[in-house]
Amino acid sequence: MSAIKRIPMSRLILLFILVLTLVACGGGENMTEPPAGETNAGNEGAGETEAEEAGEAEPSGEQVTIRFWMQQDNRLTTAMEGLIASFEEAYPNIDVQLDSFPFAEYHQKISTAFAGNDAPDAFWMDVRTASLAEQGALMPLDDYITEENRNDYLASTWLEPTYEGVTYGVPMHQLTEALYVNTELAEAAGIELPTSLADAWTWEEFDEAATTLTQRSGDVVDVWGFGVQRQLQDWSVLPVVYQNNGRVLSDDLTTATGFLNSPETVEALDWYGDLFAEHGVIAVEPIPDGFQTGKIALFQAPSTFRPVLENDFPDFDYTIVPLFRDEACSVMTGGWNVSMAATTEHPDETWTFIDWITREKHAQWVEESGYLPARHSVIEASHTYNEYPWNIFMEQLQECPATRPAVPAYTFFFDTFKQAITDIAIGQDPQATLDAAAQRLDAELGG
């Protein structure tokens, strides 16, 4: 039997030290370090322990590609490409593949992608978040969102991306509407324009202004007193309900009867329908480019309508005033949020990208996109939002925000509400119309 060769104790000690050294250094071949001083997007100088305590993601360091989808628009995609370039420079191990689709196709593209198990890692989502969350298609984000990050947002911005108390999206920006006024027509008619939310037109005053600005040649309308960019949609009409202290659904969003057909809601939509059927100050069918071409005097549209006018109609003279009000002020708010697919293979890298475009580069994004900021810090850091015309939008956004109902069956709600208000606009009885619509919603929502 051969003798066992003994290893000198000094060599054993050296071997033990070598093993410890390799373990401490990581020993991996793909451990690419983040850029110096940036262990996470926008968290310069923070160490690993600090990032973990804050609930932020730590990318693996592996070379990965994540897919990101958004709405297609030349201005928006150009702005996003700039954000992605800055992200890839800060995180060279993460490539972002951007795809965009026209709004009319976007939600169907998302649904098809999830149905085919081919969802992007991150993507824009709006009030329809609840539908995807109910299906289990979205990644919960509460463990990623720090308290400091959450509190920096306007409180209303979290309503649409939250479902049953869980957060499934991070606000990209905000949006709300105001009234664009043809300055020349208003001056010629001697109409005094409000300059702040405090002196916004009441319903009666708005009726008078829109009627005065409507011009007819016999039965032909040459200039309509009023027009709406998002014609007969919940986005533009729901504020009328809320201004009259009405509601459309119960607090748990399951019941419409007693709310959509309540006296307050019926009264509000009766008044709105009279703008079409009785006063005749607005056309039932939208008029393309009606405001820009002088065929509409007062035009309800969001802040993103400004870049359209500035770029395509630079010589057009217009004034922006607050939306009309009744018992209370109310304007619709919302916008795109960024969600993460539950199927992503790279959740930490995807979160790092989401955090970059929604937090680190938020100020740059709103400046280049034309949207409104959603963060207190960005609003407070710029004088722009305290000055005309941005102050008109921002005052409304902060003082009287309203949101669409974030129900899983939102598309059904949208279609039902749109049909009801359209029927009222062409002269059908508001109470009977809303009674029937409430019954249909109850059956769908489970009330």
Domain edge (last residue) among 400, 417, 435: 400
114 shares its domain with 189: no
Counted residue by residue, the chain has a size of 447
256 shares its domain with 295: yes
Name the residue range of residue 372's domain: 63-174+335-400
Pairwise CA distance, residues 244 & 81, whole Å? 43
Residue 224 included in any domain: yes
- Give the model's pLDDT for residue 447: 56
Q: pLDDT of 266-294, one tens digit each? A: 999 999 999 999 999 999 999 999 999 99
351 shares its domain with 218: no
Residue 6 included in any domain: no
296 shares its domain with 426: yes
267 shares its domain with 302: yes
Q: pLDDT of 308-365, one tens digit each? A: 999 899 999 999 999 999 989 999 999 999 999 999 999 999 999 999 999 999 999 9
Tokens representing 9 are 């104790």
- Here the contacts of 201-210 (C-beta below 8 Å, separation 24 or greater) are 201/321, 201/322, 201/324, 201/325, 202/324, 202/325, 202/326, 203/243, 203/271, 203/324, 203/325, 203/326, 205/324, 206/324, 207/275, 207/279, 207/281, 209/298, 210/275, 210/279, 210/281, 210/282, 210/297, 210/298
Residue 316 included in any domain: yes
Residue 433 C-alpha from the chain's centroid = 30
Residue 209 included in any domain: yes
76 shares its domain with 158: yes
Residue 426 included in any domain: yes
What percent of the chain lies above the pLDDT cut of 90? 84
pLDDT for 25 beyond 50: no
Tokens representing 397 are 């956004």
- Give the model's pLDDT for residue 396: 96
Find the CATH number of the domain harbouring 125.
Answer: 3.40.190.10
217 shares its domain with 147: no
365 shares its domain with 420: no
170 shares its domain with 181: no
Residue 287 included in any domain: yes
Residue 362 included in any domain: yes
339 shares its domain with 435: no
What b-and-e string marks burial along 100-139, b requiring 16 or more CB atoms within 10 Å of the CB?
bbeeeebbebbbebbeeeebbbbbbbbbbbbbbbeeebbb
345 shares its domain with 361: yes
326 shares its domain with 350: no
Q: Are 153 and 171 in contact (CB under 8 A)?
A: yes
Residue 12 included in any domain: no
Average pLDDT value for residue range 430-440: 98
* Structural domains of the chain, count: 2
Q: pLDDT of 391-400, one tens digit each? A: 999 999 999 9
